[in-house]
Amino acid sequence: MPGDSVSIEQACELTRTGDVWLFRGHTVADRAIRVTTNSPVNHVGMSVVIEDLPPLMWHAELGQSLPDVWSGSHHRGVQLHDLRQAVRTWARRYSQQAWLRQLDPPATRAMEDAVLRTITRLDGTPFPSTARLATRWLRGRLRWRHPSAGEATTAYCAEVVAITYRAMGLLPPERRPDWYDAGRFWSGDGLELCAGARLGGEIHVTPS
């Protein structure tokens, strides 16, 4: 994916709430996700940058190596992490390349409030098993215009970003969150946002 390159420190200065982070790894599981979804990336997260708080990463993952800033505990599933630590962990421990895509125009105060309400609702939601992840994504593709029934009991990374973007008014409410995969947030997919918003091109982020 073409684009500029910045350090993690520069990225933390640039990023604002609603910016998207994309990751590409080389494990068997990473490759399987990319092959299944026909995507160059296998993980997606979202920046949360509120007032004087340090930049945070909102995403869902199987790991529990970092403390969840929202709950203060270590757990799997939907989590809010210190952004610097999260990107470095994914780069060094999981050998993932990282890219940043910036939301334009920047999120409004009302959008940030919607993000915080979504975090309150979803933080700690378990990550689905591998089998359930595939079934959930396929169901979303086949029934993409049917609204989800009730609150999700599990959630994967792209689903979390989609739910949050929908709460911000950036994605259409009639499309199921489980229709989305990480590749939908890659520039090559041409994702159309609502309210005249757009995501910029990929900026490669180095962990050091």
Answer whether 53's CB lies under 8 Å from 66's CB.
Answer: no
Residue-wise pLDDT for 121-147, tens only, equals 999 999 875 545 555 555 554 454 555
Give the CATH number of the domain where residue 170 resides. Answer: 3.90.1720
What is the reported pLDDT for 35? Answer: 60
Which of the four pLDDT bands, split at 50, 70 and 90, describes residue 34? low
Count how many domains the chain has. 1
For the residues 97-126, what does the mean pLDDT come to? 96
- The answer to whether 185 and 82 have CB atoms below 8 angstroms apart is no
Please answer whether residues 17 and 112 qualify as being in contact, where contact means their C-beta atoms are separated by less than 8 angstroms.
yes
> Which of 26, 28, 43 has the alpha carbon at shortest distance from 159?
43
DSSP H helices in the chain: 8-14, 28-37, 83-92, 109-122, 130-142, 157-167
Q: Name every residue whose Cβ is closer than 8 Å to that of residue 184 and which is 6 or more positions away in sequence.
A: 39, 158, 162, 191
The whole domain housing 138 covers: 5-206
61 pLDDT above the threshold of 70: yes
- Does residue 1 contact residue 200 with C-beta atoms inside 8 Å? no
Confidence bin at 16 (pLDDT 50/70/90):
very high
91-95, 107-111, 204-208 — most confident range: 107-111
Instruction: Give the whole-angstrom CA distance, residue 148 versus residue 155.
Output: 12
Q: How many of the other CB atoms lie within 10 Å of CB of 121?
A: 15
* Amino acid, res. 1: M
CA-to-CA separations, 58 to 27, 30, 134, 142, 188, in angstroms, rounded: 23, 20, 22, 27, 23
Integer angstrom CA distances of residue 107 from 112, 170, 197, 204: 7, 10, 9, 22
pLDDT value of position 135: 54
